């Protein structure tokens, strides 16, 4: 006979605190629908936008996947890997966009919701590690927030509310002449009051162990007897058929977006049409390092160059005749390369929209924590631009 006092023998161990509740109905049903719809719509839109924007696949555009990989190779903690992927920018960009659309659509319509949420979390983690790792403060990088937002959906899994899986489950149930599967939230106190087994903290149905929601015989789901396997198979067949149909629709939608984007034309990107090139064999002079010819930066335009000391991209603007404003073009938010918008006369980061003043490089909007690093560029009497 055991000497253990009844109170310690029946007490749930500390591990009970970390077990999932018997049915996390409130989390997996209506409570997560707004988040699911938002993430689904956002990822669908983001994927289609990439496919529809020719600039995303145009290697010379600062908003291209190639430019983003180049930026990631500079600042990402995965730069050792990313640097080898720059030559694969187009297939990587297309894959990312299609996966975004697939994850978004599956989440939006409620098909394979846990798998889609895990896919969304993996994509967000990838974006965080490559694009927004150095966003400062950290909460200005959206990818980390998206990663956190996907996790509840991944944990909750499938929901029957406003979801295709819910519709399919109802159809399978109807074909099997069963009632529509319905899960309701019920306070555990009410279960205790109704079950007839509860006695001063213990459960007669659990051999007198402590009352425990995760083992409660009233709450344990029981498969209906009889044709359970056939019903399961029917559910899998319907889900697979739906996946094929939805996958086809995603493929058609992605193709239409890509074609339409090329017919209509993508959104204008901040481009630096000119690139400065130092004359062959040029050596540093008393004026500095020669960058290229001043006439390659007409008034009201900008040109790009490489900063010899750091290898960073630089940008020089000639806002008025004879005035040259130059900056390190690496955005201080997450390392993308800023471009010049002639219309607004601003330097703009294509990744998250930070805007910087020409003249002093100060940030005037967007998540960049500070302005661009200013460089000194002067025009020599030989018509060349020199970087001090
Ligand atoms: S990298 Fe985010 S605003 Fe520039």
Distance from residue 231's CA to the centre of ligand 1 (Å): 51
Question: With a 6 A CB cut-off, is 333 part of the ligand 1 pocket?
Answer: yes
- Mind spelling out the 3-state secondary structure of the chain? CCCCCHHHHHCCCHHHHHCCCCCCHHHHCHHHHHHHHHHHHHHHHHHHHHHHCHHHHCCCCCCCHHHHHHHHHHHCCCHHHHCCCHHHHHHHHHHHHHHHHHHHHHHHHCCCHHHHHHHHHHHHHHHHHHCCCCCCCHHHCHHHHHHHHHHHHHHHCCCCCCCHHHHHHHHHHHHCCCCCCCCCCCCHHHHHHHHCCEECCEEHHHCCEECCCCCCCCCCCCCCCCCHHHHHHHHHHHHHHHHHHHHHHHHHHHHHHHHHHHHHCCCCCCCCCEECCCCCCCCCECCEEEEEEHHHCCCCCEEEEECCCCCCEEEEECCCCCCCEEEECECCCCCCECEEECCCCEEECCCCCCEEECCCCCEEECCCCCCCCEECEEECCCCEEEEC
Q: Is the CB of 67 under 6 A from ligand 1?
A: no
Determine which residue's CA is closest to atom 2 belonging to ligand 1.
Answer: 352
Q: To which CATH superfamily is domain 274-387 assigned? A: Rieske [2Fe-2S] iron-sulphur domain (2.102.10.10)
Nearest CA to ligand 1 atom 1: 334
- What's the full length of the chain, in residues? 388
Per-residue pLDDT, 236: 84
* 363 ligand 1 Cβ < 6 A: no
Q: Is the pTM of this model over 0.85?
A: no
Mutate to test the pocket of ligand 1, among 74, 134, 143, 349 (most ligand atoms within 8 A of CB): 349
Q: CATH 2.102.10.10: which residues of the chain? A: 274-387
Q: Calculate how far, in angstroms, residue 36's C-alpha sits from the geometric centre of ligand 1.
A: 26
Closest ligand 1 atom to 368 CA: 3
- β-pairing, 274-275 vs 302-306, is parallel
How much distance in Å is there from the Cα of 88 to the middle of ligand 1? 23
Q: Is the CB of 164 under 6 A from ligand 1?
A: no
Point out the ligand 1 atom lying closest to the alpha carbon of residue 331.
4
Q: Is the CB of 331 under 6 A from ligand 1?
A: yes
Longest dimension (CA), the chain: 103
Q: Is 349 in the pocket of ligand 1 (CB under 6 A)?
A: yes
What does each of the 388 residues of the chain score in pLDDT, given as a tens digit? 344 444 444 445 556 556 655 555 556 678 899 999 999 999 999 999 999 988 888 876 767 888 888 878 877 888 888 888 888 999 999 999 999 999 999 999 999 999 999 999 999 999 999 888 877 778 878 899 999 999 999 998 888 888 898 888 888 888 888 877 776 667 788 888 888 888 888 898 888 888 887 788 877 655 555 556 777 788 888 888 988 998 898 888 888 888 888 777 655 555 556 888 887 777 778 889 999 999 999 999 999 999 988 888 899 999 999 999 999 999 888 788 898 888 788 998 877 778 999 999 999 988 888 999 999 999 999 999 999 8
Q: How far is the CA of 330 from the centre of ligand 1 (A)?
A: 9
Give the nearest ligand 1 atom to 366 CA.
3
- Closest ligand 1 atom to Cα of 334: 1
Separation between Cα atoms, residue 99 and residue 126, nearest integer Å: 13
- Which atom of ligand 1 approaches the CA of 141 most closely? 2
Q: Is the CB–ligand 1 distance for residue 293 below 6 Å? A: no
């Amino acid at each position: 006979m055991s000497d253990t006092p009844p109170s310690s023998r029946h007490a749930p161990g500390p591990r009970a605190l970390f077990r999932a509740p018997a049915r996390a109905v409130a989390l997996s049903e209506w409570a997560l629908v707004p988040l699911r719809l938002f993430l689904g719509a956002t990822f669908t839109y983001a994927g289609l936008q990439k496919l529809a924007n020719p600039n995303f696949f145009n290697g010379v555009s600062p908003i291209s996947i190639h430019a983003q990989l180049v930026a990631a190779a500079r600042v990402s903690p995965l730069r050792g890997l990313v640097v080898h992927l720059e030559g694969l920018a187009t297939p990587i960009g297309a894959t990312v966009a299609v996966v975004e659309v697939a994850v978004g659509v599956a989440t939006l319509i409620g098909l394979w919701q846990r798998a889609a949420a895990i896919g969304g979390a993996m994509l967000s983690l990838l974006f965080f590690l490559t694009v927004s790792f150095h966003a400062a403060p950290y909460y200005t990088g959206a990818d980390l927030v998206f990663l956190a937002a996907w996790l509840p959906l991944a944990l909750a899994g499938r929901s029957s509310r406003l979801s295709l899986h819910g519709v399919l489950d109802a159809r399978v149930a109807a074909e099997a002449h069963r009632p529509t599967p319905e899960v309701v939230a019920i306070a555990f106190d009410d279960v205790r009051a109704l079950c007839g087994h509860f006695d001063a903290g213990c459960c007669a149905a659990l051999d007198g162990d402590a009352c425990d929601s995760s083992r409660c015989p009233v709450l344990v789901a029981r498969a209906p007897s009889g044709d359970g396997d056939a019903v399961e198979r029917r559910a899998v067949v319907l889900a697979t058929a739906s996946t094929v149909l939805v996958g086809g629709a995603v493929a058609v939608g992605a193709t239409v977006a890509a074609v339409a984007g090329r017919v209509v034309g993508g959104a204008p990107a901040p481009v630096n049409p000119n690139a400065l090139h130092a004359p062959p064999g040029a050596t540093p002079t008393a004026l500095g390092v020669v960058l290229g010819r001043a006439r390659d930066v007409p008034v009201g335009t900008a040109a790009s160059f490489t900063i010899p000391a750091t290898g960073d991209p630089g940008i020089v603007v000639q806002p008025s005749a004879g005035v040259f404003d130059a900056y390190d073009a690496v955005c201080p938010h997450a390392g993308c390369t800023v471009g010049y918008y002639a219309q607004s006369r601003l330097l703009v980061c294509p990744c998250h929209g930070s805007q910087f003043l020409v003249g002093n490089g100060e940030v005037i909007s967007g998540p960049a924590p500070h302005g661009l690093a200013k460089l000194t560029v002067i025009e020599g009497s030989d018509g060349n631009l020199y970087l001090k």
